[in-house]
């Protein structure tokens, strides 16, 4: 594990945010998502404080990493805005009291209803992702008699080293306007011809779980070149430059362990490169916007499970099965993601076995971690999987009609529910038996 003040071992037990993990499992049941509030707040502060050393900036929390009402309260208190990618995320943010003018609406295929909802509520910006969306949004704005701020999402064609499903800026991508092919310029031209859209600036997001700073800086250079072209061709300055998220986090021994303060290196690299480009290319300094998700909430999360069946196939593999699986964390099944784990009730025992942690779904690929070192696990042990705060709860499903686990927020020894557990009744709540299928009482 990546130890820190709020994730440590005390009396042989794992302790998160001052709460004993074994007691949390007993109180709330397992599987259980646990989120460390101090970690989340600390990350928000690192991003804000490091960018504040340079020019104007804005930090947005990428909602898709972990979306529920409570998280918006935390990020708003820390001075962040939010990016949303669906009507559902926008609804959640607004219902948590997030000010609309701190929200950016993304998506490669927003529906007309979503565009209307965004405009009606007055989001700060809609991030445009395809040509006909420009006319569509202008029409929506016209019918609601509003002006809408927009960013043009550019695909700068920068390759970053990460899983290809979470790499978004390679030339062949469903996201954004390809810069090299001239599509981004066409989009800017089209926006400037509309009645109701106001070009605020540009956006790019090159991918996720990236450790190297270079591809971020390379994307920034390409965007400032483009800002210069826009200035020369259309006589317009971009007020905002949004470089997306994507900073990598620690999941397993294969990843770098970056202390929270280390993330300032990314923001400083970007802010310094921007200031240099602005000087060299004689541009108006735009507001530098970033929208990290994973790095804010990822390492804040630990999922607790109870060990059940333990099965050894001699000479092949030992499976330790837990009461969760791909329904609470589909990332191994989707991306072969690596995780590390520990027995939260016996933290001082020596890890003496290499085992595979299997989920309880009826699917062979339902694993949580493959070939991890653990002490000899037994039925009833509490197993902790680390770095599950991002893209776990938000990608959970009811596969096999398993309930999505509850989420608790821990801080200074307190534990409060952020998301209540689902009951069996919740699972059938929206099911309908058509009249002709009803059981006839005889
Ligand atoms: N901005 C945009 C436009 C994005 O598409 C994303 C993530 C972010 C910001 C936040 O990136 P982050 O800082 O979290 O890396 N489900 C995948 C990750 C998909 C990321 C999609 N976009 C996973 O579980 O790894």
320 Cα: distance to centroid of ligand 1 (angstroms): 30
Residue nearest to atom 5 of ligand 1 (CA): 205
The answer on 271 and 358 residing in a single domain is no
- 277 and 314 co-located in one domain: no
**Positions in the chain short of pLDDT 70:** 161-169
CATH number at residue 201: 3.20.20.10
Alpha carbon of 4 to ligand 1 centroid (Å):
25
Q: Which residue has the least CA distance to atom 15 on ligand 1?
A: 246
Question: How far is the centre of ligand 1, averaged over its atoms, from the C-alpha of 9 (Å)?
Answer: 31
Residues 150 and 285 in one domain: yes
Strand ranges in 194-351 using DSSP code E only, listed in sequence order: 197-203, 240-242, 287-290, 301-313, 317-322, 341-343
Q: If you take atom 6 of ligand 1, which residue's CA is the nearest one? A: 245
pLDDT of residue 159: 76
Q: Which ligand 1 atom sits closest to the C-alpha of 295? A: 13
Is the residue at 280 inside a domain? yes
Residues 333 and 397 in one domain: yes
pTM above threshold 0.85: yes
Q: For the segment 26-53, what is each residue's pLDDT rounded down to a tens digit?
A: 999 999 999 999 999 999 999 999 999 9
Handedness of CA 45, 51, 56, 61 (dihedral sign): negative
Is the Cβ–Cβ distance between 74 and 41 less than 8 Å?
yes
Residue 1 lies in a domain: no
| DSSP letter string, 255-281 | S----GGGGHHHHHHHHHHHHHHHHHT
In a domain, 50, yes or no: no
> What's the pLDDT score for residue 299?
98
Q: Residues enclosing ligand 1, CB less than 6 A?
A: 62, 64-65, 83, 106, 166, 168, 205, 208-209, 244-247, 291-295, 331, 335, 390-391
The domain boundary, picked from 260, 292, 324, lies at: 292
Q: What is the DSSP string of 89-109?
A: HHHHHHHTT--GGGEEE--SS
Q: How many CB atoms lie within 10 A of CB 442?
A: 3
Q: Which tens digits make up the pLDDT trace of 365-416?
A: 999 999 999 999 999 999 999 999 999 999 999 999 999 999 999 999 999 9
Q: Give yes or no: residues 287 and 367 share one domain.
A: no
Which residue numbers are catalytic?
362
Residues 153, 233, single domain; the answer is: yes
Task: Indicate if 236 and 186 belong to the same structural domain.
Answer: yes
For residues 236 and 13, give the distance between their C-alpha atoms in angstroms, rounded to a whole number: 59
- Which residues have CB under 8 Å from 86's CB, separation 6+? 107, 114
Specify whether 112 is located in the same domain as 252: yes
Q: Are residues 328 and 377 in the same domain?
A: yes
CATH value at residue 415: 2.40.37.10
Residue 180: inside a domain, yes or no? yes
**Ligand 1 atom closest to the CA of 60, numbered from 1:** 9
pLDDT at residue 441, as a whole number: 80
Enclosing domain of residue 326: 7-35+299-428
Within a domain: residue 197?
Answer: yes
Domain assignment of residue 83, yes or no: no
Same domain, 202 and 272: yes
Domain stops at, among 244, 264, 292 = 292
Residue 418 and residue 377 in one domain: yes
Task: Assess whether 278 and 321 both reside in one domain.
Answer: no
Q: Strands 177-178 and 240-242, how do they pair?
A: unpaired
Under 8 Å between Cβ of 30 and 382: yes
The last residue of one of the domains, among 292, 323, 345, is 292
Answer whether residue 241 is part of any domain: yes
* DSSP at 419: E
Q: How many domains does the chain have?
A: 2
Q: For residue 49, tell me if it sits in a domain.
A: no
Counting from 1 in the atom list of ligand 1, the atom nearest the Cα of 292 is 13
């Amino acid at each position: 594990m990546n130890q820190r003040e709020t994730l440590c071992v005390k009396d042989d037990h794992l302790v998160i945010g001052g709460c004993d993990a074994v007691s949390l499992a007993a109180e709330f049941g397992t599987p259980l998502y646990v989120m460390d509030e101090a970690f989340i707040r600390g990350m928000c502060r690192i991003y804000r404080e490091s960018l504040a050393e340079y020019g104007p900036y804005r930090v947005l929390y990428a909602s898709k990493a972990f979306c529920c009402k409570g998280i918006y309260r935390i990020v708003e208190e820390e001075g962040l805005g939010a990016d949303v990618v669906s009507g559902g995320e926008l609804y959640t943010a607004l219902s948590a009291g997030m000010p609309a003018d701190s929200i950016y609406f993304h998506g490669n295929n927003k529906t007309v209803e979503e565009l209307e909802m965004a405009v009606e509520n007055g989001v700060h910006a809609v991030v445009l992702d395809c040509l006909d969306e420009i006319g569509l949004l202008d029409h929506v704005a016209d019918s609601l008699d509003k002006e809408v701020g927009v960013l043009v999402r550019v695909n700068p064609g920068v390759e970053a080293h990460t899983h290809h499903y979470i790499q978004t800026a390679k030339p062949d991508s469903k996201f954004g306007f390809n810069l090299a092919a001239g599509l981004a310029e066409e989009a800017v031209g089209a926006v400037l011809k509309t009645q109701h859209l106001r070009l605020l600036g540009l956006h790019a997001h090159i991918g996720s779980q990236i450790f190297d700073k270079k591809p971020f800086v390379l994307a920034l250079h390409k965007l400032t070149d483009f800002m210069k072209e826009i200035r020369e061709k259309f006589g317009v300055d971009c007020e905002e430059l949004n470089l997306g998220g994507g900073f990598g986090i620690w999941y397993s021994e294969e990843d770098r362990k970056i202390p929270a303060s280390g993330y300032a290196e990314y923001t400083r690299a970007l802010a310094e490169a921007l200031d240099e480009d602005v000087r060299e290319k004689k541009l108006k300094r735009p507001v530098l916007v970033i929208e990290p998700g994973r790095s804010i909430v990822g390492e804040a999360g630990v999922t607790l499970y109870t060990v059940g069946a333990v099965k050894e196939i001699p000479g092949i593999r030992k499976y330790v099965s837990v009461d969760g699986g791909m329904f609470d964390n589909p990332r191994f099944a989707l991306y072969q993601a690596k995780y590390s784990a520990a027995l939260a009730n016996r933290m001082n025992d020596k890890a003496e076995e290499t085992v595979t942690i299997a989920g309880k779904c009826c699917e062979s690929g339902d694993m949580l971690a493959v070939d991890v070192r653990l002490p000899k696990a037994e039925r009833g042990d509490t197993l902790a999987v680390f770095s599950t705060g991002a893209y776990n709860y938000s990608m959970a499903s009811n596969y096999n009609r398993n309930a999505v686990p509850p989420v608790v927020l821990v801080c200074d020894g307190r534990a409060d529910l952020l998301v209540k557990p689902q009951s069996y009744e919740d699972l059938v709540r929206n099911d309908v038996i058509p009249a002709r299928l009803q059981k006839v009482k005889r």
